[in-house]
């Protein structure tokens, strides 16, 4: 069965470059026939995004800092003017001060806690609020999480707390928006080589550890995450909401490393 997103229009938030998870999702959705708009954070990212957006036939790019209401208002106003309605939004946005993604969690500062939660979690609520007003016939909201939300992952620190809040947010939004036919889900990939991924202390070791030990002996790929996003945002995922879907080679089922890698 080929899953189609023909006739669906949506906003992709969080493409920083061609290694971004959001880009893997955008490509898969465009291949499935979806029409896309993109948001980017500031001019430099905008320049990198432009050729990528053009390559999938998109001519809608909006500059959005999710902590800035004016830019959020302007972005959703642009989408309303251009399309009138919206079928899906992909929220692939997270941030923490890099200096707190290493060392001990107990040293998390109040300022970075607030900022990380605001950008990595609250923004999904804010996006959902705005997007749902453009979804009179239902739609889909997707976000990206990581299993550091419920399993301690060294150096993931405050981001683990932010992802736990984001996963809970996914369930609460799913309940609020379900009666309107809007489904809300999160994809939880294993470690991937992206800008945000590289900011986490020990990223290379985490990547290697997952690759060597996951049941599939493989890390997530942009294609695998993209395929999952297409399923969730298309009619194939019609009865799935409030779900956290892992795309991690099965790593989350392990209780300990594979025998060859035990020390």
Interacting residue ranges for ligand NAD, rule: CB under 6 A = 14-16, 20-22, 41, 45, 64-67, 92-95, 119, 144-146, 189, 191-192, 194-197
> Is the CA virtual torsion 72, 227, 137, 33 positive or negative?
positive
Comparison of 33 and 209: residue with beta carbon closer to ligand NAD: 209
192, 210 in Cβ contact below 8 A?
A: no
31, 222 in Cβ contact below 8 A?
A: no
Supply φ then ψ for residue 171, to 5 degrees: -70, -40
Determine whether the annotation assigns residue 106 to a binding site. Answer: no
| Shortest distance (Å) from residue 181 CB to ligand NAD | 25
Is-catalytic flag, 122? no
- State the Cα–Cα distance between residues 136 and 88, nearest whole angstrom: 12
| Shortest distance (Å) from residue 123 CB to ligand NAD | 7
- State the Cα–Cα distance between residues 118 and 233, nearest whole angstrom: 25
Comparison of 179 and 192: residue with beta carbon closer to ligand NAD: 192
- State the Cα–Cα distance between residues 250 and 151, nearest whole angstrom: 14
Q: Which residue among the candidates 40, 122, 156, 172 is catalytic per the annotation? A: 156
Q: Would you give the end-to-end CA distance of the chain in angstroms?
A: 44
- State the Cα–Cα distance between residues 73 and 235, nearest whole angstrom: 29
| Shortest distance (Å) from residue 10 CB to ligand NAD | 16
Is-catalytic flag, 156? yes
Determine whether the annotation assigns residue 65 to a binding site. Answer: yes
125, 166 in Cβ contact below 8 A?
A: no
Q: How many CB atoms lie within 10 A of CB 58?
A: 19
Residue with the shortest CB distance to ligand NAD: 197
| Shortest distance (Å) from residue 1 CB to ligand NAD | 27
| Shortest distance (Å) from residue 136 CB to ligand NAD | 26
Determine whether the annotation assigns residue 125 to a binding site. Answer: no
What lies within 8 Å, CB to CB, of 3 at 6+ separation is 32, 230, 231, 234, 236
Comparison of 58 and 194: residue with beta carbon closer to ligand NAD: 194
Determine whether the annotation assigns residue 152 to a binding site. Answer: no
Determine whether the annotation assigns residue 93 to a binding site. Answer: yes
Determine whether the annotation assigns residue 14 to a binding site. Answer: yes
Comparison of 4 and 67: residue with beta carbon closer to ligand NAD: 67
Comparison of 49 and 135: residue with beta carbon closer to ligand NAD: 49
Q: Catalytic site residues?
A: 146, 156
Which residue ranges make up the annotated binding site for NAD(+)?
Answer: 14, 20-21, 41, 65-66, 93, 163
Which residue ranges make up the annotated binding site?
Answer: 14, 20-21, 41, 65-66, 93, 163
């Amino acid at each position: 069965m080929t899953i189609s997103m023909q006739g669906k229009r949506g906003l992709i938030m969080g493409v920083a470059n061609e290694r971004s998870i959001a880009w893997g999702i955008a490509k898969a959705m465009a291949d499935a026939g979806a029409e896309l708009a993109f948001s980017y954070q500031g001019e430099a990212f905008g320049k990198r995004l432009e050729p990528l957006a053009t390559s999938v036939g998109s001519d809608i790019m909006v500059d959005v800092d999710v902590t800035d209401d004016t830019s959020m208002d302007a972005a959703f106003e642009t989408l309303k003017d251009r399309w009138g309605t919206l079928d899906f939004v992909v929220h692939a946005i997270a941030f923490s001060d890099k200096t707190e993604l290493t060392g001990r969690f107990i040293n998390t500062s109040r300022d970075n806690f607030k900022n990380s939660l605001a950008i990595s979690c609250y923004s999904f609520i804010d996006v959902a609020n705005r997007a749902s007003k453009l979804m009179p016939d239902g739609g889909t909201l997707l976000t990206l999480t990581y299993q550091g939300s419920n399993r301690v992952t060294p150096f993931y620190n405050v981001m683990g707390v932010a992802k736990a809040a984001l996963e809970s947010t996914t369930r609460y939004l799913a309940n609020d928006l379900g009666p309107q036919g809007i489904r809300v889900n999160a994809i939880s990939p294993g470690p991937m080589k992206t800008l945000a991924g590289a900011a986490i202390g020990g990223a290379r070791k985490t990547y290697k550890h997952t690759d060597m030990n996951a049941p599939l002996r493989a890390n997530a790929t942009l294609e695998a995450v993209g395929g999952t996003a297409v399923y969730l945002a298309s009619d194939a995922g019609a009865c799935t909401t409030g779900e956290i879907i892992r795309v991690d080679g099965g790593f989350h089922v392990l209780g300990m490393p594979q025998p060859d890698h035990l020390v």
